[in-house]
Amino acid sequence: MPISISQVGPCFAGMVEGVDLREELSPEMVEAVHDGMDRYAVLIFRGQSITDEQQLAFSEQLGKIEHAIGTSLREEKDARLPTTFADVSNLDRNNQPFQMEDRRRLFAIGNRLWHSDSSFKVVPAKYSILHALSIPSKGGNTEFAHMPTAYDTLDQESKEQLEGLICEHSQIYSRQQVGFTDLTSEEIERFKPVRQTLIREHPKTGRKSLYLSSHAGRIDGFSIPDAKLLLLDLVNHATQREFVYIHEWQLGDLVIWDNRQTMHRVRPFPVDEPRDMRRTTIVGDGPTVEQ
């Protein structure tokens, strides 16, 4: 059965049929997934009862795996998953929800802000691949914003103003927005800022996008207040309802998104209910400031 993709979002996001991720994909199917990502930026695969090993095998067909090392407050001794996975659940190593005041939970609240995965790395992520093993009784939806459309709808003066601007990205900046400053000196050093372009061009389609994230906190040549206000205005523009797809998770969903073309955020859910989400991540095309 060939892959079919139908659009489910306002201007992007596609539902995929005809794929069983328990099986290795043919080269033609892998190419169809890449083409679908270029076109839709978000792809949804329903009902995928796969193991972690099968998720990893599928991910490796799409590119090089980004290892989740030093990107959260989980210590190695407390890890539930190998570094080939980013554990974006709310669970400790005993598979129990974090306590209300657990600093790992408080740090993760930053994921409720609009962001692009790994924009705080010199080489930011290409694809994120998230599999739902356990979902709460309510809430926990993921919202996606389409950044090419956000760029296209700017006026010409704004496009010219933004061209060539460089931002600093760090998880310190995103966590400051939610009032989380409980970081050790080692963590502050680990999360030191990296530079990213504010405008990105897709290497295959040639379409330009706003490259925004809550991790962005400064802009070269701007005062901090001016930078923050400009970034806030751009995020508000980019997340208008007509640019956003809301994904309501079902068990077994696997969703891939292109971090070069999207921002996303998770919505609130009951703190005492498990939300077991496992993410593999594909390394990006290289430093944005060199592209």
Q: Taking a C-beta distance cutoff of 8 angstroms, is the pair 266, 141 a contact? A: yes
Residues 6 or more apart in contact with residue 2 via CB below 8 angstroms: 18, 32
pLDDT tens digits along 238-264: 999 999 999 999 999 999 999 999 999
How many whole angstroms separate alpha carbon 29 and alpha carbon 142? Answer: 26
- The CATH number for 62's domain is 3.60.130.10
Mean pLDDT, the chain, rounded, equals 97
Tell me the per-residue pLDDT of 175-204, one tens digit each, with 9 for 90 and over: 999 999 999 999 999 999 999 999 999 999
Burial class (CB in 10 A: 0-12, 13-18, 19+), 257: buried
Domain span at 104: 4-290
Of 212, 192, 182, the residue nearest 288 (C-alpha):
212
Quick one: what percent of the chain has pLDDT higher than 70? 100
Rounded-to-integer distance, Cα 43 and Cα 284, Å: 18
Structural domain count, the chain: 1
pLDDT > 90: what percent of the chain?
96
Tell me the per-residue pLDDT of 49-94, one tens digit each, with 9 for 90 and over.
999 999 999 999 999 999 998 889 988 888 999 999 999 999 999 9
First CA to last CA distance, the chain? 38
pLDDT beyond 80 at 1: no
Q: Judge contact between 100 and 271, C-beta under 8 A.
A: yes
Predicted local distance difference test score (pLDDT) of residue 29 = 97
pTM of the predicted model as reported, rounded to 2 decimal places: 0.97
Quote the Cα angle for 16-17-20, to 5°. Answer: 100
Note the pLDDT tens digit of each residue in 136-175.
999 999 999 999 999 999 999 999 999 999 999 999 999 9
The Cβ-side half-sphere exposure at 130, using a 13 Å CA radius, reads 27
Q: By three-state DSSP, how is residue 113 classified?
A: coil
